[in-house]
Structure 1
Amino acid sequence: MQQQVVPMIHVPDVGATIDWYSCLGFRLRDQGKEGGGEIVWAALTCGNGEVMLSAGGTARTARRREIDLYIFVEDVDTLCQSLKGRVEFVEDLHDTFYGMREFIIRDLNRFWITFGQPMRK
């Protein structure tokens, strides 16, 4: 039996969150609506990964939220440059002590998204 962990993030507005993540290249795999047509659940894919969104989250102003997403990419430098001026940066592009080159942004719900690539030796 194959096992896979898929994070579920509770957000105030699932539809707006789908739109925001779609601008980063995520694809909508599935969604669920309530009787009034409001989107209350969605599954988004990014490469081999998946994340689910569920209605009911609350807006917060804390520096960090309860969950962060970490996305491995092949060209972190180019991606970072393409997002400048379009999203809120938490940390600009930098090399880490654990061998990754990465940067951190916030999504519209204030969750952190780190994009990373192993440093070349």
Structure 2
Amino acid sequence: MTTVTPMIHVPDVAATARWYEGIGFEVLATAEDGVETTWAQLALGATRVMLNCGGRPATHDRRDVDLYVETDDVEAFRRRFDGRADLDLVEDLHDTFYGMREFIIRDPNGFWITFGQTVSG
């Protein structure tokens, strides 16, 4: 095995892909059924994630899958979101007991995305 790419089932693939583009992901590929976008593959650096149609909106605090993205400069990445009205910030920058500096946002479907960096020293 060389990689694992999560596939998230969402109600609206096109809208979700646009939201992820807005936070820095790149849309690599999409598929359509003639009416709507049914699938998309996105990238953020070496990170890959796929979106697939057929998901339901979340009605609870957390979903069954969260994304964890490691970055070299989590504070700079956090600053990308300053002033964004559409940002659902779950937890702002904080140091964890397991040696990471992190912040957590929620995507439009309720999935959590944690951005983290190893704390040195």
TM bucket (normalised to shorter chain) is over 0.9
Q: CA-to-partner distance for each residue in 1:87-117, whole Å, 9 max, x for gaps?
A: 1110111000110000000011110000000
1:28-47 superposed matches below 5 A: 28-36=27-35, 38-47=36-45
Distance 2:2 2:76 in 1: 33
Paired residue total: 119
Q: Distance in 2 between matches of 1:118 and 1:73?
A: 9
TM-score by length of 2: 0.93
Letter in 1 for 2:67: L
Alignment partner, residue 111 of structure 1: 111
SS in 2 for 1:83: coil
* Equivalent residue, structure 2, for 1:78: 76
Letter in 2 for 1:69: L
Structure 2 CA distance for aligned equivalents of residues 47 and 79 of structure 1: 13
Give the secondary structure class of the aligned counterpart of 2:63.
coil
Identity rate, percent: 52
Q: What is the rounded CA distance, in whole Å, between the counterparts of 1:77 and 1:49 in structure 2?
A: 18
**Structure 1 length-normalised TM:** 0.93
In the alignment, which residue of structure 1 is the partner of 2:63? 65
The ranges of structure 1 where at least 4 consecutive aligned residues each deviate by more than 6 angstroms after the TM superposition are: none
Mapping of residues 45-56 of structure 1, within 5 Å:
45-56=43-54
After superposition, the CA RMSD in angstroms is 1.1
Aligned partner of 1:5 in structure 2 is 4
Shift of 1:54: 0.3
Give the Cα separation in 1 of the matches to 2:83 and 2:107: 14
